[in-house]
Structure 1
Amino acid sequence: MLPSEEIDTPRGPARIDTDPPAGPTVAPGREAGVAPARAPAALLVLGHGAGGSVDAPDLLAVRDAAVTAGLTVIRVTQPYRVAGRRAPAPAGHLDEAWTAVLAALRERHTDVPTILVGGRSSGARVACRTAGAVGAAGVLALAFPLHPPGKPERSRAAELTTGLPTLVVNGDRDPFGVPGSGPGVQVVTRPGETHDLRRDPAGTAVVVRDWLRSHGWTTD
């Protein structure tokens, strides 16, 4: 992992943690010690849950699987969390900061044509709402909170209608509900998992890796 960095946004500094693809590739005729760095197949940018961090078990497991599959993974900490607050910022502020970070990342990674966005819970909602504006090719939604607990009438299903390939991974015991599949939206329900997806992060990562492969977004 590269050192953490801060990126200025209209809502204060956000923090990014970057993990490049795992391992160099050795070109014919070269020795392993002088091989060029592995070119990423895509850039996967992930956001955290409302009161959580980018070190959530499911995010770390997905990170590990994605870098092994040839992607660069960047985990974004929203400005309110960088400032030490747990209460989430308003949705508009989250979207504004996220969009600013994605714009900066596009300028830094001009050699990577494919950008995928995602996150868990609140971070998944942000990624869905802004996917079109940031030019994403696909969306990964971990523990998408379909509705507040006990209030199914307040559905957020419309946020998943991005027009892009979207993978939703939710636990079958999630009190925030489980979305239904739709055009372009693949939903995988993990047995025995709740909203934190902590029971089997590695299994969740396998689901994500297979989805990435199915769209040609990996090098393995």
Structure 2
Amino acid sequence: MTHDVTSATTETVETDAGPARITWHRARRRPRLVLAVSHGAGGGIEARDLKALAAELPAHGVTVALVEQPWRVAGKKVAPAPKTLDTGWRGIWPALAAPGLPVIAGGRSAGARVACRTATELGARAVLALSFPLHPPGRPEKSRAEELLGAGVPTLVVQGGNDPFGRPEEFPGYGRGRAPRGRAVTGDGWAYELVEVPYGDHGFAVPKRADITQEEAVAVVTDAVVRWAGSLG
């Protein structure tokens, strides 16, 4: 798979949490959606899945906006409280909606939680949750399922099979004997769907002994998002 990420432009946006930054990867023809994705608490927009989406989606009519939260732009190493992350995301939203296209709110890990918490309020078309942190590692009783189930819009979860923050079978509706991988689980007038990246950890890294290569693992992510985004119209 060849990724072209050379045609990006950046924009600084003032928010109540400080300046944020958007790196735009514009759809190459007939733009129909904006996919806005932010990073997690431990990394930035250079994450392998975010880079791959920015390279792949523009060829399918989807403009990708990689969002850097104010704390990351300021060079801080520790993410602030969820309330502050939500404030930054709200401040960025008008710029994301400025092209006049429906916006998919997305993010990886902590960014996915932000997208879920604010989707209905901001009028997101859908939510993309990459490596949703269902619970802290080793603490399944500290579930964050309510945030995911409360998104209120069509949602795609892409989760590593070995993610310590929540394996696919731990998600509501996807346990053993329940819905098979990839089947939508309906909620209150909406649905969420889960796609598994075999052997993937929280960053979708796969071990060398796995019967899937790293490139193939990333392709599971991009292929799932391309298909799902196409279903949104």
2:30 counterpart of 1:39: yes
Once residues 116 and 163 of structure 1 are traced to their aligned partners in structure 2, the CA distance between those partners, rounded to angstroms, is 13
1:48-72 Cα offsets, whole Å, 9 max, x none, are 0112011110111122221111111
48, 53, 63: which one aligns with 2:54: 63
Give aligned pairs, total: 198
Percent of residue pairs bearing the same amino acid type: 43
SS at match of 1:4: strand
2:182 counterpart of 1:176: no
- 1:65–1:3: structure 2 CA closer, same or farther, 3 Å change rule? closer
Q: Do the aligned partners of 1:65 and 1:206 also contact (CA within 8 Å) in 2?
A: no
Alpha-carbon offset, residue 172 of structure 1 = 1.0
Once residues 118 and 204 of structure 1 are traced to their aligned partners in structure 2, the CA distance between those partners, rounded to angstroms, is 13
In structure 2, stretches of 5+ residues that fail to align are 1-6, 174-184, 206-213
Once residues 137 and 8 of structure 1 are traced to their aligned partners in structure 2, the CA distance between those partners, rounded to angstroms, is 23
Once residues 188 and 105 of structure 1 are traced to their aligned partners in structure 2, the CA distance between those partners, rounded to angstroms, is 26
SS at match of 1:13: strand
Alignment of 1:116-127 (within 5 A): 116-127=104-115
Q: Do the aligned partners of 1:45 and 1:118 also contact (CA within 8 Å) in 2?
A: yes
The residue that corresponds to 1:8 in the other structure is 14
Q: Do the aligned partners of 1:180 and 1:187 also contact (CA within 8 Å) in 2?
A: no
SS at match of 1:44: strand
SS at match of 2:15: coil
175, 199, 202: which one aligns with 1:192: 199
1:33-87 Cα offsets, whole Å, 9 max, x none, are xxxxx33111110000112011110111122221111111101100001011121
Q: Give 2:203's aligned amino acid.
A: D
128, 132, 140: which one aligns with 2:116: 128
Q: Give 1:155's aligned amino acid.
A: S
In structure 1, stretches of 5+ residues that fail to align are 23-37
The residue that corresponds to 1:163 in the other structure is 152
The residue that corresponds to 1:211 in the other structure is 228
Once residues 57 and 173 of structure 1 are traced to their aligned partners in structure 2, the CA distance between those partners, rounded to angstroms, is 17
43, 64, 70: which one aligns with 1:73: 64
TM-score for the superposition, normalised by structure 2: 0.81
4+ residue stretches of structure 1 with deviation over 4 A? none
Q: Do the aligned partners of 2:65 and 2:96 also contact (CA within 8 Å) in 1?
A: no
Alpha-carbon offset, residue 214 of structure 1 = 2.1
Q: Do the aligned partners of 2:9 and 2:25 also contact (CA within 8 Å) in 1?
A: no
2:116 counterpart of 1:109: no
SS at match of 1:124: helix
Alpha-carbon offset, residue 170 of structure 1 = 0.4
Q: Do the aligned partners of 2:36 and 2:96 also contact (CA within 8 Å) in 1?
A: no
Once residues 164 and 122 of structure 2 are traced to their aligned partners in structure 1, the CA distance between those partners, rounded to angstroms, is 30
Once residues 139 and 20 of structure 1 are traced to their aligned partners in structure 2, the CA distance between those partners, rounded to angstroms, is 19
TM-score for the superposition, normalised by structure 1: 0.86
Q: CA RMSD in A?
A: 1.2
Alpha-carbon offset, residue 189 of structure 1 = 1.4
